């Protein structure tokens, strides 16, 4: 990737011009993968992979449960992308009745997170 494209993206002028690696292990029925893939659909330099490539992009996205072996120059931050609640989490008759009558549930929603890794050694001029 040309150096000017990285600088432009890091300055906010062409954010979608930065290369992004989406490192996602093969997990059938993973609801978060389709959400992340949709959010990154307009990134022309998106690379999908199941493991860390030999030369990772300046921006890497991984599931929060996975801690990829990236170089020390990468810094990661966790982000919540999806809250979901499923009726299967209701326990007991009273919980089901409360849901049917009031559409209330006392069980917390499931939180699905990703890690966003950024190479902090890239040029920022």
Indicate whether 10 pLDDT > 80: no
Report d(CA 114, CA 32) in Å as an integer: 9
The 10s digit of each residue's pLDDT in 71-101 is 788 988 999 988 887 888 888 899 889 888 9
Whether 54 is in a domain gets the answer yes
φ/ψ of residue 118, rounded to 5? -130, 135
Q: Which residues contact 97 (CB under 8 A, 6 or more apart)?
A: none
Whether 78 is in a domain gets the answer yes
Work out how many domains the chain is built from and give that number: 1
41: domain range?
A: 3-119
Whether 124 is in a domain gets the answer no
Whether 100 is in a domain gets the answer yes
The structure tokens listed for 76 are 């990661």
| Closest listed residue to residue 59, CA positions, set 80, 43, 42 | 43
Whether 59 is in a domain gets the answer yes
Whether 125 is in a domain gets the answer no
The 10s digit of each residue's pLDDT in 12-67 is 556 678 889 999 887 777 878 888 888 899 899 999 988 888 889 999 999 988 87
């Amino acid at each position: 990737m040309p150096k000017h494209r990285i600088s432009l993206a890091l300055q906010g002028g062409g954010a979608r011009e930065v290369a992004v690696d989406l490192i996602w292990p093969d997990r059938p029925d993973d609801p978060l993968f389709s959400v992340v893939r949709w959010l990154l659909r307009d990134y022309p330099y998106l690379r999908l992979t199941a493991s860390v490539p030999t030369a990772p992009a300046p921006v890497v996205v991984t599931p929060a449960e996975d801690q990829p072996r990236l170089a020390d120059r990468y810094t990661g931050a966790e982000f919540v992308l999806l809250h979901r609640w499923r009726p299967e989490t209701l326990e007991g008759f009273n919980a089901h009745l409360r849901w049917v009558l009031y559409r209330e549930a006392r069980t917390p929603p499931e939180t699905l997170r990703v890690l966003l890794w950024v190479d902090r050694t890239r040029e920022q001029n």
